[in-house]
Amino acid sequence: MRKPKKERQAALKSSIKDNPFVTDEELSAEFGVSVQTIRLDRMELSIPELRERIKHVAEKTFDDEVKSLPIDEVIGEIIDIELDNKAISIFDVKPEHVFQRNRIARGHHLFAQANSLAVAVMNEELALTVKSELQFLKPVKAGQRVVAKAQVTDRQPHKHRAFVKVVSTVDQAVVFIGTFEMYRTTEQSEGDNT
Amino acid sequence: MRKPKKERQAALKSSIKDNPFVTDEELSAEFGVSVQTIRLDRMELSIPELRERIKHVAEKTFDDEVKSLPIDEVIGEIIDIELDNKAISIFDVKPEHVFQRNRIARGHHLFAQANSLAVAVMNEELALTVKSELQFLKPVKAGQRVVAKAQVTDRQPHKHRAFVKVVSTVDQAVVFIGTFEMYRTTEQSEGDNT
DNA sequence: CTCATATTAGTACCAAGTGCTAATAGCGGG
DNA sequence: CCCGCTATTAGCACTTGGTACTAATATGAG
From first to last of its 194 residues, chain B has per-residue pLDDT tens of 456 777 889 889 889 988 889 999 999 998 899 999 999 999 988 899 999 999 988 887 665 443 333 334 557 777 778 888 888 888 888 877 888 778 889 888 999 999 989 988 887 777 889 999 999 999 999 999 999 999 999 988 888 899 999 999 998 899 999 999 999 876 444 433 33
Angle between helices B24-31 and B5-18 (to 10 degrees): 130
**B55·A60 Cβ contact <8 A:** no
Distance from CA of B166 to the nearest CA of A (A): 14
Q: Write down the pLDDT at residue A54.
A: 92
CA of B115 to C1' of C18 (A): 51
**A72·B96 Cβ contact <8 A:** yes
Q: Write down the pLDDT at residue B63.
A: 56
Q: Write down the pLDDT at residue B3.
A: 60
Query: Taking 70 as the threshold, does the pLDDT of residue A194 lie above it?
Result: no
The Cα-based distances of B134 to A148, B25, B27, B95, B131 in angstroms read 19, 53, 49, 23, 10
The stretch A148-168 carries a mean pLDDT of 92
Q: Write down the pLDDT at residue A21.
A: 92
- Residues of A whose CB is below 8 A from B51: 51, 54
The stretch A155-172 carries a mean pLDDT of 91
**A132·B130 Cβ contact <8 A:** no
Q: Write down the pLDDT at residue B82.
A: 83
The bases of strand C with some atom under 7 A from any protein CB are: 6-10, 15-18, 20, 26
Task: Say how many C-beta atoms besides its own lie within 10 A of residue A68's C-beta.
Answer: 10
Q: Write down the pLDDT at residue A63.
A: 56
What phi, psi does B149 have (nearest 5°)? -115, 120
The beta-carbon neighbor of A60 closest among B61, B106, B107 is B61
Q: Write down the pLDDT at residue A5.
A: 74
Angle (nearest 5°) at CA A160 between A157 and A166: 90
Distance from CA of A32 to the nearest CA of B (A): 27
Please give the Cα distance from A141 to A136 (Å, whole number). Answer: 13
Q: Write down the pLDDT at residue A62.
A: 61
DSSP-based three-state secondary structure for B115: helix
Distance from CA of A96 to the nearest CA of B (A): 10
What is the pTM assigned to this prediction? 0.53
The stretch A88-112 carries a mean pLDDT of 87
Q: Write down the pLDDT at residue B122.
A: 84
Which secondary-structure segment (H or E) carries B131?
strand B127-136
Q: Write down the pLDDT at residue A186.
A: 60
Helix segments in B19-79, DSSP class H: 24-31, 35-45, 50-67
Q: Write down the pLDDT at residue A67.
A: 38
Interface of A with B (CB under 8 A): 20-21, 51, 54-55, 57-62, 64, 69-72, 75, 99-102, 104, 106-108, 111-112, 115-116, 119, 125-126, 128-136, 139
Strand partners, B168: B148, B176
Residue type at A157?
Answer: P
Query: Taking 50 as the threshold, does the pLDDT of residue A65 lie above it?
Result: no
CA of A134 to C1' of D14 (A): 66
Least confident of A63-67, A151-155, A157-161, B143-147: A63-67
